[in-house]
Structure 1
Amino acid sequence: MAHVFVAGATGVLGRRVLPLLLAEGHRVTGLTRGGAGAAAVRAAGAAPVIGDVYDRDGLARLVAASAPDVVMHQLTDLADGSGDANARMRTTGTRNLVDAAAAAGVRRIVAQSIAWAYEGGQDPADETEPLDLSAPAPRKTTVDGVVALETAVRELPEWVVLRYGLLYGPGTWYATGGLMASAAAAGTLPADGDVSSFVHADDAAAAAVQALDWPSGAVVNVVDDEPATAREWVPVFCEAVGGPPPEPVAAGGRTPWARGADNHYARKHLGWVPVHASWRSGFCA
C-alpha cells in the first residue's frame, strides 16, 4: 500500500478519490485551502494539510513533511468558468507541485489532463494523436495549459497522465444546478455537429485510483464508449436536467478539433471499465 498525497482533495474528483484510496488500504494526505476543506478531508478518513499551490515554498514544505510515495494531481480552478484561471492552475500550480514532489524524493505522480486538446482530425482521437499546438486564441490558452502540465509531470521518474473527457455527475458543470444546466435552461447549448466525449465523475475517480498501478509513462484517454455530436447529446442532457428542448441547428460540418476521444487503450489494455458506458444512460442516472 502507498502513501498518496492528493492535491485538490476537495474538488469534484478529489472528494471521490479519497474514499476509494482509503478503501484499498492506502494512507492518504489531502491538500486543501481552508478549514472547511480540512474538516471534509478528515471526515473522509484522510489526513488534511492546509496550503496553497501558488505558495511555492509553503507547498514544498508541506509535501516534504508529508513524505508521500505518490502525488495525485487533481487540481482545477473552474469555479467561475474561467479558462484563464484553469490554465494558470495547470501551468503554475503543476509546476509548483512537481517541483515540491521532486524535492521531497517522490518518484510517481498521477495527473489530471483533458481529452479535447488534440489537433483536428476525422475520427475520435487516440493517445498517439498530437495535441493542438497551433490552436488559435482562446483555445490556445487551454492547450498551452495542458502542454505545460503534461511536460512538467514527465519530469518525475514515474508518471501517468489521465486525459479525462467532459466530466458529468453531481458537483460538475454537467449536472442539475451546474453551469451547463443553466445554459440548457437558457437555451444556449448549441445542438450542432461538434463531437464530445464524456465520462462520469465516479468513473474518472476510479481510473485515478487504478492508475497507481498502471505503467509509468502512460497517457490515457479516460472517456466513455460513445463520442457523440451535440445534436445527439444536447437534447438528452436538456431533458435530464429539466431544460427545454434545444433549438434545431442547421446541419453542417463540425469544428475540426471537436472530434471526441477513443478509450480503447484504457479499456482493452489497462482494464478500466466505466460503470456508465455511455452518457445516454449516465445523464439520466
Structure 2
Amino acid sequence: MIERRITFTLENEGLPAWKLNRLKTLAGYFRSVVVIHNISQLSMANAEQAMRVMSLGSMPGDLCQLMIEGSDAELACMVLTDFVSEHCDLICTGHRHLSQREEKASIVLPFDYALSHLPQLSQFTVSSQDKVDVLTQISRQCAPNQPDKANSLLEQLQAREAVSSTAMGNGVALPHILTPDVEVPTLVLAPLEQPIEWGSQRGPVSCVIGLALPAPPKREYLLAFSSFSKRLLEPDFCQLLTENRRPEVLRAVVLDSLSLPFR
C-alpha cells in the first residue's frame, strides 16, 4: 500500500468550513484514505468527515499533516499538495522536494536557538558502544570545528547518563545538559536506522534528540523545554518523531512543541 504525507501549518483563519468542504471533496476523488492529523493538538480525523475534522479544535498556527494511504496515494498527494500550498503554509510533501521559494512556513520561538539534524545514523550495531557513538556525534554537532568544546560536552552528556538513562520510552531518548559551553539552546535531531539500547528498561530508542541549554537558563527556555519534555510522555507524539524521518518534518514537530507555551 502506498503512503504519502503532507505537512503544513494553518494560516490566520485556521480551517474554516469552506476549506474543510473543499478538502472533503478532493479526498473523495481518490481510492485512498486521507486522514488529517493536527500535531499541535495530538488529534486526528478522516478528511471526508468534516464534522469530525471541525472537532479537532484546529487553531491558526497549528502544525498539521495529511496522511494519505491507498492505491492512488501518489496522485492524491499531488492534488492535495496544490490545495495545501494554496491555503496553508506548506512545510513538506511526500511526492517531491520543495524549492527554496516554496519553503515558506516557519514556526517562531521568542528566543534564539540552534537546531541541526544529523543524517540518519546507520553505521551502528547493537553493542555497548552504540550510545557513546551517538553522544559523540551529537556533541560534535553542538560544537562544530571546536574539538575541545565538543569533548567537554561529551563528558557532560555522559555524566548525565551516568545519573540515570535519558530514554523517555516509546523509542525516544533526550540526552540533555545545562552547560556554560553553549550561548543559546542547542538541539541536535538524530534519527537512527536501527533501534539501539539506551540503558533503560523503557526499551531501545530509534530517535535521539540531544539538548544543551545555557547555564543559567532563562525563563523562556524552561517554559519551552518543559513543554517539550511533557510531550515526550505522549506515545502519539513520540510516534511522530520515530515515524517521520524527513528533516523538515522532524524540525517542524520539535519547534511546534516548543512554541506551544507562547501562543
Return the TM-score normalized by structure 2.
0.29
State which structure, 1 or 2, has the greater radius of gyration over its C-alpha atoms: 2
> Would you tell me which structure has more strand in proportion to its own residues?
2
TM-score by length of 1: 0.28
